[in-house]
Amino acid sequence: MQVLRVPLLNANEDEVAIVDVRVQEGAEVRSGDLLFVVESTKAALDVEAPCSGYVRNLRVEKGQRARVNSLLCVLTASPDEPVAVSEAATTDTQRPFRITRKAQELAERHRLDLSGLGLTGIIKESDVERLLQTQSTLSAVAVPKKEPLPIPPGAGAPVVVYGASGHARVLIDLMRLAGEFFPVGALDDSPSHAEVLGVPVLGDSSFLAQLRSEGIERAVLGIGSVQNHRTRAKLYDRLLAAGFKIPNLIHPRAMVEPSVTMGVGNQIFAGAVVGSAAKLGDNTIINSGTVVSHDCVISSHTHLSPGAILAGGVEVGENTLVGMGVTVYLGVRIGSNVMISNGSHIMKDVPDRSIIRTGNPHRSGSNKLD
């Protein structure tokens, strides 16, 4: 019996699109036959039969999204061979991270439980090795928590940054330029450095409650949103559940008209323009050089990537990614849980859970995620 699972095509994506399914349940196939075509935002892959056999437990359909390491099908030597596949490794919707097969095997060999460490994104073998090394160090010597930065007079309201990588650096520079908030420390569930732009990394997300009890009232989400918006939304909710206020951050070189209304936790980067009477929900990213024209409505947990241009009256649903350089025509409605690849031109409405691919102007239909 041969088990086929969804491959990892891109380390930044924990889902792929099932572009085509070439077989049916019970079909006989030969080694090398094309079974599936899967695609991420950066790569496509033909999944071929590794051996001859019969297709059993077919779990995917053309056009759907499937999580990395979830079950595609099973190949058996005979059409009536008993099939017993463990679902434990197929998918885990409760975990905010995905893990490569090698990383999972390494963690299991060392009996390392990853579920309680607050990890997000794609966990690779090197990440597990680093966690094992950290665990060994901590067991040998107690490491005291770093103290937050002292707050200079007039520096702004203290804020903790959840995240310590590229997106966090952008927010720290933004806050220092704007002067309204002062980053006193950062938290990261997979830290690689002791500080980020001079801001000390205090520990992982388990310190959220302690920092809140010590009087820090505000936090910002310094983890970017490239593919997995649901994960970012969960991290945002984690900050709210810990009792933090999440302020809007607006770069001094962004243009936000006075008639704009918005919720909380929004991040508007340098060179962005948000036009008259536009509305933003909560926890949106309006990235560098993005234009949101008059009367647009951008729902919560949505990311407008650098250089995107939205004409007047455009509506964008929740948990949607609009890629770099995308243009959207006047009055178009883009649904929720949509992914629009870089450089696309959107001329008509886009249904919920759709994927629009690069170089394919959206004039008549889309690939919908069932």
> 132 or 256, which is more confident?
256
Polymer length in residues for the chain: 370
Residue 63 CB-density burial (10 A; 0-12 exposed, 13-18 middle, 19+ buried) = middle
- Residue spans of the domains in the chain: they are 2-76, 97-140, 157-241, 253-370
**pLDDT value at position 273?**
97
Does the fold of domain 253-370 match that of domain 2-76? no
pLDDT at residue number 249 = 97
pLDDT in tens, 202-229: 888 888 988 898 889 999 999 886 555 6
60 pLDDT band (50/70/90 cuts)? very high
The CATH number fitting domain 2-76, selected from 1.10.10.10, 3.40.640.10, 3.40.50.20, 2.40.50.100: 2.40.50.100
| CATH class (in words) of the domain with range 253-370 | mainly beta
Q: Read off the pTM.
A: 0.61
Q: Rounded to 5 degrees, what angle do the CA atoms 315, 319, 325 make?
A: 65
Judged against a pLDDT cut of 80, whether residue 119 lies above it is answered with: no
pLDDT band at residue 367 under the 50/70/90 scheme: very low
Q: What is the pLDDT of residues 270-302, one digit of tens each?
A: 999 999 999 999 999 999 999 999 999 999 999
- pLDDT tens string 99-118: 776 777 777 677 666 655 55
Longest dimension (CA), the chain: 76
pLDDT for the residue numbered 246: 96
Average pLDDT over every residue of 62-74: 87
Q: What angle do CA 146, 152, 157 make, to 5 degrees?
A: 85
- pLDDT tens-digit map of 12-51: 667 888 999 999 999 999 988 999 998 877 677 888 888 8
Percentage of the residues of the chain whose pLDDT score is greater than 90:
48
Band of residue 174 on the pLDDT scale cut at 50, 70, 90: very high
Distance CA 196, CA 198 (A): 5
Q: Please classify residue 139 by burial: count the beta carbons closer than 10 Å to its beta carbon, then call 0-12 exposed, 13-18 middle and 19+ buried.
A: exposed
Give yes or no for residue 368 having a pLDDT over 90.
no
Angle between helix axes 101-109 and 125-140 (nearest 10 degrees) is 30
In this prediction, residues 60-79 reach a mean pLDDT of 88
Instruction: Give the integer Cα–Cα distance in Å for 175 and 212.
Output: 20
Identify residue 77 by its one-letter amino acid code.
A
Strand ranges (E), 133-278: 157-162, 181-187, 195-196, 199-203, 218-221, 249-250, 255-256, 261-262, 267-268, 273-274
Higher pLDDT residue, 154 or 357? 357
Distance (Å, rounded) from C-alpha 191 to C-alpha 131?
A: 10
User: pLDDT at residue 234 above 80?
Assistant: yes
Number of H helices, E strands in the chain: 5, 34
Query: CATH for 97-140, among 2.30.29, 4.10.320, 1.10.3930, 3.40.50?
Result: 4.10.320
Mean pLDDT computed over 190-198? 84
Which CATH class, in words, describes the domain spanning 157-241?
alpha beta
